[in-house]
């Protein structure tokens, strides 16, 4: 079922976390954040919205990391109900798509709840003080990729945040599959 991300709560401090990554290490926000901010993405393996843009996510993550922005992806879906989103399958998904950022598993779903994550993909862009400045979409893609020349909304917003500490005034919410919460 499709869901739309909630409106931005500008200034929200990024909730800290320590979660297992597909690389076998535990990652905390303080170790992921870059000198110019952090991008926290909630994604999963099976969502058609994520699958449509995963290559763009990887492209933008590389470009943002070059700007001093730390990047992380978190999967919080119930892997019992959705086995394609299991930790083992997360490892394969990250390898297949060449993730240059940690891909973490939020099995308890506490981190997703703390952030107020709603859908996959759901993007949270923080400035260097780890205050929320972006809660928008990647670009105009939906269940199918937008045209190759589509505006890189997430990248441009995070580039602005890296330079000024402030995100754009106008932001279009992300849309995707609802997070699969445990019963």
pLDDT in tens, 110-161: 999 999 999 999 999 999 999 999 999 999 999 999 999 999 999 999 999 9
pLDDT in tens, 7-40: 778 999 999 999 999 999 999 999 999 999 999 9
What burial class does residue 163 get, using C-beta atoms within 10 Å of its C-beta: 0-12 exposed, 13-18 middle, 19+ buried?
A: exposed
Helix (H) or strand (E) holding 73: strand 70-75
Domains and CATH numbers, the chain: 2-178 (3.40.30.10)
**What pTM value is reported for the model?**
0.96
**In 3-state terms, what secondary structure has residue 110?**
helix
- Please give the angle made by the CA atoms of 150, 76 and 14, to the nearest 5 degrees: 75
């Amino acid at each position: 079922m499709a869901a739309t991300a909630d409106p931005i709560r500008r200034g929200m401090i990024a909730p800290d976390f320590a979660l297992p990554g597909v690389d076998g290490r535990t990652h905390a926000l303080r170790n992921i954040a870059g000198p110019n901010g952090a991008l926290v993405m909630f994604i999963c393996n099976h969502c058609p919205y994520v699958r449509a843009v995963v290559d763009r996510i990887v492209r933008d993550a590389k470009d943002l990391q070059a700007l001093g922005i730390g990047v992380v992806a978190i999967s919080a879906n119930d892997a019992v109900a959705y086995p394609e989103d299991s930790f083992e399958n997360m490892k394969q998904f990250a390898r297949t798509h060449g993730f240059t950022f940690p891909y973490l598993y939020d099995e308890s779903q506490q981190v997703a709840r703390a952030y107020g994550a709603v859908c996959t993909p759901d993007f949270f862009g923080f400035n260097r003080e780890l205050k929320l400045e972006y809660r928008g979409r990647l670009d105009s893609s939906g269940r199918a990729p937008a045209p190759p020349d589509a505006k890189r909304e997430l990248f441009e917003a995070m580039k602005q945040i890296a330079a000024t500490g402030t995100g754009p005034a106008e932001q279009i919410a992300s849309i995707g599959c609802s997070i699969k919460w445990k019963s």
